[in-house]
Structure 1
């Protein structure tokens, strides 16, 4: 009987195929700290130290790692601010800006539909 039931479910259940690009987008956004980095850079160009101060709890090592990954994804670009002092600034690329706009819609959805009492933190993305 169980085999027949499983067979019937297999017949009825449509196969779900998720677009790999859609999946990759959520892999990027789902990685810890990425959404916060995008949110800070959405407000304007920043130096590493400014990003580090803006996101409490994010270590410099992890920030460096995330910035490199996001640069490889062409979400941010690193610019030399002062070559002789080797100071860099980071800003969102067009691709990153468009992703930041998309996250605004997610934030609006969360505000509307997430009814749990969320404890507000200093670094909340609002």
Structure 2
């Protein structure tokens, strides 16, 4: 039997994107540059500490960039790099798949 091997790059991508909140943060930034509080407010139950950690990880991976504007008070915005924007088709595909296959339960 031929067992397929997982590509190390695919494995690393899945490891990065599967961290809790990461995909939602990247998806939120597809709307354009945003400040920390805007991202935090857009994702229910996301703590500021976790958001800060994820933003640092995504910046280290080159998926987002952090822009500091020398104003008073200092303004900091986060935006997607070309590498991050290349994930947009993935979100389109997931959205199409979800529309077709995922039922939403409104009972809570």
Q: Normalised by the shorter chain, which TM-score bucket? A: 0.7 to 0.9
TM-score normalised per structure 1: 0.76
Q: Which has the larger radius of gyration?
A: 1
Distance, in Å, in 2 between the alignment partners of 1:119 and 1:51 is 25
Which is helix-richer, 1 or 2? 1
Structure 1 ranges of 4+ moved more than 6 A:
none
1:87 aligns to what?
A: 75
Matched, 1:49 2:66: no
Aligned residues: CA RMSD: 1.6
Q: Where does 1:44-123 land on structure 2 (aligned, <5 Å)?
A: 44-114=32-102, 117-119=103-105
Deviation of 1:15 (Å): 2.3
Could you list the runs of 5+ residues in structure 2 that have no partner in the other structure? none
**Could you tell me the TM-score, scaled by structure 2's length?**
0.87
**When the two structures are aligned, how many residues end up with a matched partner?**
106
Write the deviation string for residues 29-86 of structure 1: whole angstroms up to 9, x where unpaired: 2111111111110011000011111111100000000000000110000001235423
